[in-house]
Amino acid sequence: MDKLTWFITRYTQFLCRKGGYEVIPIYGETVTNLKDFCYQVNCSLPFGFRVRPDLGALYDLILNFETEPDNRVFIWHDAQHQLKTTPELFNDVTESLVVAGFLNRNAMSTIKSDNTRYKVNQRNMIVFFDTAVEELLFFLNREYYIPSIDGVYDSKFEFQICEII
């Protein structure tokens, strides 16, 4: 656990120092419900108001049209806590992160007031400790509902997995 914590902390600091990144840390060990998750994201993103704790509001918050940095990275520390204690919450939140990231990265989420597409290279880093890849297969191999401005469809994604030993 110490190596993982060290790596993630250093990586977060690296992105912040590099510039051009909006970094949103989420500390999974302190999240017990959707309200906790919404609170952490709401406090980490430059957003004009506090959102209510529901999945629709969380999804809107993760899309975050308030800013348009070159890059945005959600770093979810200790996601194994939600995976093991509240798997439904893990599934719902992960879906929001994956879909919002895909839409923003591909300029498929909204049209701005100047008639250009909103685009942010939005990525997710979901960090697990002591979790086998087999425990994540339901999340890795499923199709996600994509509500794009170009049309609605379901899609599978390829995920990059990095194991620190």
Residue 87 structure tokens: 């798997």
- Distance in angstroms (rounded) separating the CA atoms of residues 73 and 123: 5
Task: Specify the amino acid at residue 71.
Answer: N
The CATH classification number of 2-155 equals 3.30.370.10
Cα distances from 98 to residues 7, 73, 80, 102, in angstroms, run 22, 12, 17, 6
Residues 118 and 70 sit within 8 Å (Cβ to Cβ): no
Task: Specify the amino acid at residue 69.
Answer: P
| Res 10: pLDDT | 94
- Distance in angstroms (rounded) separating the CA atoms of residues 146 and 133: 25
Tell whether the model's pLDDT for residue 35 goes beyond 70. yes
Residue 94 structure tokens: 């992960």
What would the pLDDT profile of 71-94 be if each residue is shown by its tens digit? 999 999 999 999 999 999 999 999
| Res 1: pLDDT | 67
